[in-house]
Structure 1
Amino acid sequence: MAVPVLFLQTFPLLRALPEATLAALASQASDLVFAKRAVVLQKGPPTPSLCLLAEGRLQAVDFTIDGREVGLYFINPGDYVGELSIIDGLEQPEFIIAVARSRIITLPRNIVRQAIFATPATAESVTLRLSARLRAQSAQRTILSLTNPLQKICAQLQLLVVAPGATQNRISNAPTHQEIAIMVNTSRETVTRVFQVLQAHGAVQRQGNDLVLGDAKMISQIAKGDLDLPKG
């Protein structure tokens, strides 16, 4: 099903494309809806389409050797996923899961790849996005190497604060305790206990679906290993 050109122009990635290119993409695009926990992209097979997230939220996940799920990064509305396989034609490196009911626009690989490389501004945008994602995943690996759950989770909160959608120590549409648990490779119960400690010290607070860091300095000190908090 074709997608209106004006709708495609709402995605930052596509704004620099010529009108004729946008029209060609729109005629080949599909508008899909995925239920919560549905698999949007499978790990392994090359991705047939670039996925643009219009509504909802996605998470990239993988599994450890012992079968534990590990969250890698989130995809928020306006962002996209599947670009690695689109660019090099190789395997999709991780699973992409809908963590909320999500609306996704898909663009076929061949036509969107040609459009990206034919438009310097769009190619630069993809390159910068890949760079940001690589840096974030490097930081994520550092977090996974930590052994103190409190330090781990505070380091993860710091990483989420600088992610897209976070402003002034506020994480919009913050991940659930379960989602944070798979990001730092621990249990949901451990995350809940850590949040209880942080809330008791005024370091974090929930405001609707958002998470506010009430004491960003404390979070930073814990993340660096310079401060610990009593558990009682």
Structure 2
Amino acid sequence: MPIPFKTVTSIPLLQGLDDDTLNKVANMMVSRAYLPNDVVMRKGNSTDNLGFLLRGVLQVVDLSEDGRETGIHLIEPGNSFGELAVIDGLPRSASVIALKSSEVAFLPNAQARSLIFNRPLVAERMLRHFAKALRTSTHQRTLLGLPNAFHRVFAQLHSLVRETPQGMVIELPKQHEVAIMVNTSRETVSRALHTLIKLNVIEKKGTVLIVHQPAQLKSAAESGLEELSDLKSNKSGM
């Protein structure tokens, strides 16, 4: 379906462009709805558009050598994706799947390239986006290099902490989604979460984790089970 002009003006990459350009972009875009686990983009496919997430949550995934899905990073509303293939014309370098019911707007490749190459404001934002993505990718590779699965789960959870007026929270993805992010089993994720809950580091409320002890979660993310062993000892001695 077509994209309303107001929706286009809310996309961070396009904000500040003149109304004539935004109207043209809106007329060229189409949106599609996706259900959880739907494939939005598939690795190896040819390039034909640039995606913008309007609502929902997406995950960029790749396959490891042993055939396991490995989560690279999450895509949140307002973010664009698929830029590399748009810029260099090569096949998609990773797949994108929907974690929740999502709506995505697509801008055809030719128009996306014109904006990126001919509009300095868009080009600057795209460079900042690539810099952030590179930092995220570097962090994720470091995380996946941790030998202990519990440690990887703690580090991933810490990276998802957000500060809100109600305190520090984690909008918890499903356990199998966390498992994909850190290359472990859903059962391991469940046990790691239970350990943190038992020690009152976090509390589960629906799909949200309330972080009661941010410093302890940070220490667990940095030191793994050793830090939690110290916390257990302190609690047992009280």
- TM superposition score normalised by structure 2: 0.89
Contact 1:54 / 1:102 at 8 angstroms: preserved in 2? yes
The answer to whether the aligner puts 1:189 opposite 2:187 as a matched pair is yes
> Structure 1 residues 129-138 or 206-215, which shifts more?
206-215
Instruction: Report the Cα offset of residue 95 of structure 1.
Output: 0.4
Query: What's the offset of the Cα at 1:153?
Result: 1.0
Alpha-carbon distance in 2 for matches of 1:130, 1:46: 21
Mean Cα deviation higher: 206-215 or 89-98: 206-215
Q: 2:163 aligns with which of 162, 167, 171?
A: 167
CA drift of 1:180 comes to: 0.6
Instruction: Measure, in 2, the Cα distance between the counterparts of 1:205 and 1:47.
Output: 43
Unaligned ranges ≥5, structure 1? none
- Contact 2:53/2:75 (<8 A) preserved: yes
1:212 Cα deviation from its structure 2 partner: 2.5
Matched, 1:221 2:214: no
Write the deviation string for residues 187-216 of structure 1: whole angstroms up to 9, x where unpaired. Answer: 000000010000011111223322222211
Give me the TM-score of the superposition, normalised by structure 1: 0.91
Q: Contact 1:50–1:112 (CA<8 Å) still a contact in 2? A: yes
Q: Any runs of at least 4 consecutive aligned residues in structure 1 with deviations exceeding 6 A, and if so which?
A: none
Deviations 1:26-54 (A, max 9, x none): 11111111122111001012331111111
What is the CA-CA distance between 1:130 and the residue it aligns to? 1.0
Task: Specify the alignment match of 1:62 in structure 2.
Answer: 62
The structure with the largest alpha-carbon Rg is 2
Are the counterparts in 1 of residues 154 and 192 from structure 2 also a CA contact under 8 Å? no
- Is the Cα–Cα contact under 8 Å of residues 36 and 99 in structure 1 kept in the other structure? yes
Whole-angstrom distance in 1 between the partners of 2:47 and 2:77: 20
Q: Secondary structure at the match of 2:191?
A: helix
* Residue of structure 2 aligned with 1:180, choices 178, 181, 185: 178
Structure 2 distance, partners of 1:153, 1:228, is 13
Q: Deviations over 1:159-204 (max 9, x none)?
A: 222xxxx3253223x2111111010000000000010000011111
Amino acid in structure 1 at the alignment position of 2:170? I
- Identity %, equivalent residues: 35
Q: Deviations over 1:108-167 (max 9, x none)?
A: 011122112222222111111111111111111111111222211111112222xxxx32
What code does the residue aligned with 1:223 have?
A
Aligned residues: 227
Question: In the aligned structure 2, how far is the partner of 1:11 from the partner of 1:206?
Answer: 32
RMSD: 1.8
1:50 aligns with 2:50: yes
